[in-house]
Amino acid sequence: MRGTPKTISLRRRLICDLMHASMGVPFVSLARSLHIRPLLEARADATAPAGWAAMFVKAFALVAKDEPILRTVYTKWPWPALYELPKSVATVAIARVDDGEECVLPQRIAGPEDLPLAAIDAEIRRGKTAPIEDVPMFRKIMRATRLPLPLRRLSWAVGLNFGRQRGNWFGSFGVSSVAAYGGGELHPITPGPFVVSYGLVEPDQTIHVVIRWDHRVTDAAPIARVLTRLEQVLNTEIAAELRAAGSKPVRAVRA
């Protein structure tokens, strides 16, 4: 069958590089439905609620503040080791259309545990709408993607395998979801070490969350505790920040 050859675009080349970097990472997944009624009530009452990605970014970073293992990455150079980062660095998968092509680009958010929800949400929204050249992370990753293959492989290897560079390029955890497109249980592939995915809010006021992690870094029992703590943080700290940001005005009802 004779088809039509197509050149791999710069955006698809990025995904090819990402998949190559993710090969060999021994990922394990744990999924659970979190009960988030207090969060939903706070969000429904907020004037300008943050998006779900922003809430999960900050909630996970707050959990990681007390759980150093969530800020730990596996590196190979100069020898295999675990490297603990001083703060969380989130990488949010941004789905967008660029030059008529659908693509996914990583938006980096450093220290989200110390940022207001509104600031995190603004960075994510900027990643969705701003020109690629105006977003520092996009500009940096696309510059590397333009390199010849041997240099790309080398740059990715340096970014992945030196602890100090890992936070600059790939962060300590990722957030990816298809909830905006109808939901589904997503198990994304990344270089690790942690990636969080969430689905749609269910009628029983739960949300399905999946955490995938590099098994070289930690085991299932700590991640099970992390999911419990994540539920608590969403319903307390994140809900409280939504309430503090301001509620919708109550309209008077004429008697």
Beta strands in the chain (DSSP E): 27-35, 72-75, 81-84, 89-98, 101-110, 173-175, 194-201, 206-214
Amino acid at position 140, single letter? K
- Angle, helices 10-22 vs 136-145, to 10°: value is 80
- Check pLDDT > 70 for residue 88: yes
- For position 252, what pLDDT does the model report? 45
DSSP annotation of 113: G
What's the mean pLDDT in 30-38?
Answer: 98
pLDDT mean over 175-185: 90
In this structure, the strands spanning 72-75 and 89-98 are: unpaired
Model confidence at 247: pLDDT above 90: no
Q: Which amino acid is at 162?
A: F
* Rounded Cα–Cα distance for residues 151 and 161 (Å): 15
Query: For tokens 């395998």, what's the residue?
Result: 161
Q: How many residues does the chain have?
A: 255
pLDDT per residue over 109-168, tens digit each? Answer: 999 999 999 999 999 999 999 999 999 999 999 999 999 999 999 999 999 999 888 888
Give the pLDDT confidence score for residue 248 in this predicted structure.
59
Q: What is the pLDDT of residues 206-236, one digit of tens each?
A: 999 999 999 999 999 999 999 999 999 999 9
Measured distance CA(210)–CA(174) in Å, rounded: 12
- Residue 214 in contact with residue 74, Cβ under 8 Å? yes
Region 71-84: mean pLDDT is 94
Buried b (16+ CB within 10 A) or exposed e, 117-126: beebbebbbe
